[in-house]
Amino acid sequence: MIGIDKIERVYFLGIGGIGMSALARYFHFFGKNVCGYDKTSSSLTLDLEKEGIPVHYKDDLQNIPGPEEKDTTVVIYTPAVPNDFAEFRYFRQNEFSMYKRSAVLGLLTSGKRCIAIAGTHGKTSVTTMTAHLLKQSHVDCSAFMGGISKNYATNLLLPENNSPFIVVEADEFDRSFLQLHPELAVITWMDADHLDIYGDHANMIKTFGEFVSQISNGGTLLYRKGLNIQSEWNDKIRYYSYSINEEADFQAVEIKIVNGAYHFDLKTPFGDIKDLCLTYPGLMNVENAVAACGMALMSGVSHEEIGAALAGYTGVVRRFDVRYSGKKTIYIDDYAHHPRELEATIKSVRDLYPGRRVTGIFQPHLFSRTQDFAEEFAAALDLLDDALIMEIYPAREAPIQGVDSGIILNKMKLTSKIRCQKEQFPAILGNYNPEILLTLGAGDIDRLIEPIVNYLIKNEDV
């Protein structure tokens, strides 16, 4: 990569992605001329524009750096950008310096004390929690997070005291996490996913093994108890397990809900921490907090600092995100897009609101994932009282013949289930009068949030 001192301009192909936008903010902070393209406008791109980063939405060569600027320009792109995209072809043909987002993140973490959070579920929450615990302590950190932290209203944190620690979300998609060589790492889950990339579950687990092999000598892996972690992946590191429901090195015990908040004691190899408080809802977030506290302890954060910071943690946008709480309806939005995530979210809702009717709106993400896990999606969605299934959000994929949201619906046992279009919302909610309403999915279902909230406010006293 061109030395950062020689870079004048950084151009992003797909600037609106959560990981890309964090990098854009990073280079903008250091005074580089940052701009980029994205397919559609979103809350992320609008925020970037407000921060002074130009974004355009047309594949138009008039909006991009000229050939004379290639020696001082770096182009960063995501795997979702097709090779036949006009801007992509232009940069290739004119021999610009081009890097995948994951490669840039690998370069930025090189030489730092990297804390990498990997796993098929929960990694955004653990990353954000870990960053918060370090940020609110004497240790401090930089952080590239895979979601917008509610505590800081951003997905990028920068240190105030030259802290050597950098917390990053280690994404298994496209094997991106193999660009990282962390000192400390977490693996939350290794469920089958991204089979369009890996082919099968065994190959995906093998790649997690490669990630573990890259943890630096003397480093540490903290993994969820029960995962098929093999010590031969790396015999030069320490292995610790974590759990909330079975014996583990880091374990939450005496978990109880008091006034809507979780209270628990944390058993660790470095001494116990009594009466931790997490006000952010969802039992899965207690498990995420155990992993984050483990990372914080091993980074030098004190017991007292962990207790104070965890109590003040307010969560991540689109992760068990309570968007409206009224007399009749509580509305929660969540990014869940894998069957295991749907199950965890719905069960957490059941724990928090026993006896309440739960209505869920789900947008499947990717044709391949829907095809691979239709039965598992159906089983998870059967945990609802009412299920409204939207059409599949394709993201980077072309349609697969015979694959649509109907294949999930057809496998469900739930009686109250329908297939619906985005345009039917929020009016269709008048047929349900939900007590607990969930929106679930990783596509553009978040565009329904504001209309739904407005609808609920308007109809609260009807």
DSSP code per residue over 272-330: -EEEEEE-S--HHHHHHHHHHHHHHHHTT--HHHHHHHHHT---BTTBSEEEEE-SS-E
- Residue 397 confidence class, pLDDT cut points 50, 70, 90: confident
- Residue 164 pLDDT exceeds 70: yes
pLDDT at 259: 87
Kind and range of the H or E run holding 91: helix 86-93
- Residue 335 pLDDT exceeds 70: yes
In this prediction, residues 334-342 reach a mean pLDDT of 93
- What's the Rg (C-alpha) of the chain? 22
- Residue 260 pLDDT exceeds 90: no
- Residue 137 confidence class, pLDDT cut points 50, 70, 90: very high
- Residue 252 pLDDT exceeds 60: yes
pLDDT at 462: 45
pLDDT at 460: 75
DSSP bridge pairs for 62: none
Share of the chain above pLDDT 90, in %: 83
What is the side-by-side order of every strand in the sheet holding 436-440?
321-325, 330-334, 436-440, 358-362, 386-389, 417-419
pLDDT at 461: 52
pLDDT at 367: 95
- Residue 192 pLDDT exceeds 50: yes
Which tens digits make up the pLDDT trace of 86-101?
A: 999 999 999 999 999 9
- Residue 304 pLDDT exceeds 50: yes
Query: How far are the Cα atoms of 180, 205, 282, 387, 409 from residue 379, in angstroms, in the given order?
Result: 35, 24, 20, 12, 10
pLDDT at 40: 87
In this prediction, residues 208-237 reach a mean pLDDT of 97
- Residue 1 confidence class, pLDDT cut points 50, 70, 90: low
pLDDT at 84: 83
In this prediction, residues 194-218 reach a mean pLDDT of 93
Tell the burial category of 374 from Cβ atoms under 10 Å away from its Cβ (0-12, 13-18, 19+).
Answer: buried
Cα angle for residues 297, 303, 308 (degrees, 5° grid) = 110
Class for the domain spanning 9-100: alpha beta
Gap between the Cα atoms of 234 and 212, Å rounded: 6
Gap between the Cα atoms of 33 and 303, Å rounded: 42
Give CA 212 to chain center in angstroms: 20
- Residue 3 confidence class, pLDDT cut points 50, 70, 90: low
Which tens digits make up the pLDDT trace of 56-71?
A: 998 778 888 888 888 8
In this prediction, residues 282-297 reach a mean pLDDT of 96
Output the average pLDDT for the chain: 93
Residues 445, 449, 451, 456, Cα dihedral to 10°: 130
In this prediction, residues 68-92 reach a mean pLDDT of 89
Prediction pTM value: 0.90
- Residue 196 confidence class, pLDDT cut points 50, 70, 90: confident
pLDDT at 352: 87
Residue pair 307/276 in contact by the 8 Å Cβ criterion:
yes
pLDDT at 105: 94
Gap between the Cα atoms of 63 and 8, Å rounded: 17
Q: Where in the chain are the domains? A: 9-100, 110-311, 321-459
In the block, residue with structure tokens 């997070």: 145
Cα angle for residues 261, 265, 269 (degrees, 5° grid) = 145
Among 139, 140, 144, 88, smallest CA distance to 116 is for 144
pLDDT at 5: 66
Gap between the Cα atoms of 45 and 69, Å rounded: 24
pLDDT at 68: 87
Helix (H, G, I), strand (E, B) or coil at 113: strand
Q: Which two tokens stand for residue 248?
A: 């583990």
Helix (H, G, I), strand (E, B) or coil at 16: coil
pLDDT at 43: 87
Among 450, 373, 387, 383, smallest CA distance to 420 is for 387
Architecture of domain 321-459: Alpha-Beta Complex (3.90)
Question: What CATH number was assigned to the domain covering residues 110-311?
Answer: 3.40.1190.10
Give start and end residues of each alpha helix (H) in 10-62.
Answer: 18-29, 43-50
Contacts of 414 (CB under 8 A, 6+ apart): 381, 382, 384, 385, 386, 387
